[in-house]
Chains A and B, each alone.
Chain A
Amino acid sequence: MKPAPFEYAAPRDLDEALDVLAEHGDDARVLAGGQSLVRMMNARQVSPAVVVDINRVRGLDALGVTNDNGSSTLSLGATVRQRTSELSGDVAAHAPLLAEAGAHVAHAPVRARGTVVGSVAFADPSAELPAALLALDGLVKIRSRAAERTVAADDFFTGPFRTALAADEMVVGVEVPVTAGRSGSAFVELTRRQGDLPVCGAAAVVGLGDDGRVAQARVALCGAHQRPVRVPAVESAVVGADEPSPFTEAAARAADGLDPVPSCHGSADFRRHLARVLTARALSTAFARATSPKETTHA
């Protein structure tokens, strides 16, 4: 046995889980898929006194589209597996970027247990799914025993493996707004080996106006900064484009102001270079998918 001893709680409903977090705070860890937590516990990088297994909590495995006052939202609960999201018809129809980025995460047996929300809550600055959520303008749903709040993904990620989550809080789901109109998305990354964390990755969503020009764009990067990050300078620079050639010039600004975490897999300069190259590629592919209706269905 590798992990240090801990108390195991397997609540059946959310309030019970939140009670445990309220009581133990930082000494407790939430266990969903466990594909990062158990690894870290095996290495004793973390040794929580209490592990709250939320896999039996009713309702957290919900994945679907809800309509509220005319606006639609795709929501994924905290125990929705990455593999489920990757293969979901709702995700394919309304947030294909999430499926495309998700297919790059580790390998099938890891994705079969690992959760989308778990990856978001873990906030690895190199991970694919947090960047995808950012590019989709996603929201993070948070609960504690005392309160409920919703935080924009951009405000949720605060640093390497750091988030806006307080010790007594838990992420109960993520939401992505469902938009009408012509749009396309793309996720591209560079990895040393398939299934590894990317050295750098770029997620892009491009929405077209009635005139066929880019009406809005969102670009998010992983592996390029202390946290998954949006690049608004690039986003605004591509508005109005009606063909892909301006993307490369706009993407030249993708690394401005970024502070990549260097590692043996890539220096800070190499990561800045990749941020520019991958941003241009993601934008071009997203634009091509937006302009070719056939491609958008499985983009």
Chain B
Amino acid sequence: MPDKVRIRITVNGTRHDLLTEPRTLLADLLRGDLALPGTHLGCEQGVCGACTVLVDDVATRSCLVFAAQLDGSSVRTVESLAGADGTLHPIQQAFTQEHGLQCGFCTPGMLMGACELLERVPEPDREDVEEALGGNLCRCTGYQNIVRSVCAAGRLMADEKTEQSGVRA
């Protein structure tokens, strides 16, 4: 058996110093070693997008990256979105309000893809969402509600920002 590889990786703000087999995929490291099963594995060949997480703020297929490649990287998964008290992130609120999910299997990938988009483009239009999430498959919703959810999340987050600055003023 080949030597294990040492990686130092930050996941959802927590630093880990781990020994892992070179063949461990990031998705399996997250779900197995780190007990974060929110990241879902669908096709395991980069097609479905369910396993999308953010690696150094970039939406990435966690089934197509070896954990060994990510020494020194910072990863965010769907578990990073809600507050410690269970308060939903505005993206999650929007998905709830706009019926952006049914069975929920693809949702972690949708949320993380949306998260990257909203950090880049605070108030995305339909086309921005289609471009960002075009590679994420959903067998339930027919996609329309997902697009609506992400656009609504942008508005929610903008409103929150205005409120916060209003309080400060």
A209 on the interface (CB 8 Å rule)? no
A211 on the interface (CB 8 Å rule)? no
Residues of B near A195 (CB, < 8 A) are: 134-135
Question: Would you give the shortest CB distance from B52 to chain A, in whole angstroms?
Answer: 6
Pair B64/A35 contact, Cβ less than 8 Å: yes
B119 on the interface (CB 8 Å rule)? no
Pair B2/A6 contact, Cβ less than 8 Å: yes
With contacts A107-B134, A109-B59, A113-B64 taken as known, whether A5 is within 8 angstroms of B21 at the C-beta atoms is yes
Alpha-carbon distance between A83 and B134 when the two chains are bound, in angstroms: 15
Kindly specify which of B43-51, B75-83, B139-147, B153-161 makes contact with the partner chain: B43-51
Residues of A near B132 (CB, < 8 A) are: 108
Tell me the interface secondary structure of chain A in the complex: loop
A55 on the interface (CB 8 Å rule)? yes
A62 on the interface (CB 8 Å rule)? no
Pair B45/A8 contact, Cβ less than 8 Å: no
Residue interface mask A31-62, B partner, CB < 8 A = 1: 10011001101110000000101010000000
Could you tell me how many residues of chain B have their Cβ less than 8 Å away from some Cβ of chain A? 31
Kindly specify which of B10-18, B22-30, B93-101 makes contact with the partner chain: B22-30
Pair A109/B5 contact, Cβ less than 8 Å: no
Identify the closest chain B residue to A3 (Cβ): B23
B68 on the interface (CB 8 Å rule)? yes
Pair B59/A112 contact, Cβ less than 8 Å: yes
Question: Would you give the shortest CB distance from A56 to chain B, in whole angstroms?
Answer: 9
With contacts A3-B23, A7-B3, A51-B22 taken as known, whether A108 is within 8 angstroms of B65 at the C-beta atoms is no
Pair B22/A106 contact, Cβ less than 8 Å: no
Alpha-carbon distance between A6 and B5 when the two chains are bound, in angstroms: 11
Residues of B near A10 (CB, < 8 A) are: 68-69, 71
Question: Would you give the shortest CB distance from A61 to chain B, in whole angstroms?
Answer: 14
Q: Which residues of chain A in 1-29 are interfacial with respect to chain B, using CB atoms and an 8 Å cutoff?
A: 1-8, 10
Instruction: State which size class the interface on A falls in.
Output: 20 to 34
Q: Which residues of chain A in 74-127 are interfacial with respect to chain B, using CB atoms and an 8 Å cutoff?
A: 106-110, 112-113
Pair B45/A113 contact, Cβ less than 8 Å: no
Residues of A near B131 (CB, < 8 A) are: 108
Identify the closest chain A residue to B70 (Cβ): A55
Pair B46/A5 contact, Cβ less than 8 Å: no
Pair B2/A8 contact, Cβ less than 8 Å: yes
Pair A53/B45 contact, Cβ less than 8 Å: no
A66 on the interface (CB 8 Å rule)? no
A245 on the interface (CB 8 Å rule)? no
Pair B25/A2 contact, Cβ less than 8 Å: yes
Pair B69/A34 contact, Cβ less than 8 Å: yes
Pair B66/A110 contact, Cβ less than 8 Å: no
With contacts A8-B22, A109-B61, A109-B113 taken as known, whether A1 is within 8 angstroms of B2 at the C-beta atoms is no
A194 on the interface (CB 8 Å rule)? yes
Alpha-carbon distance between A85 and B45 when the two chains are bound, in angstroms: 24
Residues of B near A41 (CB, < 8 A) are: 23
Identify the closest chain B residue to A111 (Cβ): B135
Given contacts A2-B44, A35-B64, A55-B69, 4 further A-B contacts (CB under 8 A): A5-B21, A42-B44, A107-B134, A109-B60
Which residues does A use to contact B, with CB under 8 Å? 1-8, 10, 31, 34-35, 38-39, 41-43, 51, 53, 55, 106-110, 112-113, 194-195
20 A-B pairs within 8 Å (CB atoms) are namely A2-B25, A2-B44, A5-B1, A7-B22, A8-B22, A8-B68, A10-B68, A35-B64, A38-B25, A38-B46, A39-B45, A42-B64, A43-B45, A108-B59, A108-B135, A109-B113, A110-B64, A112-B60, A113-B64, A195-B135
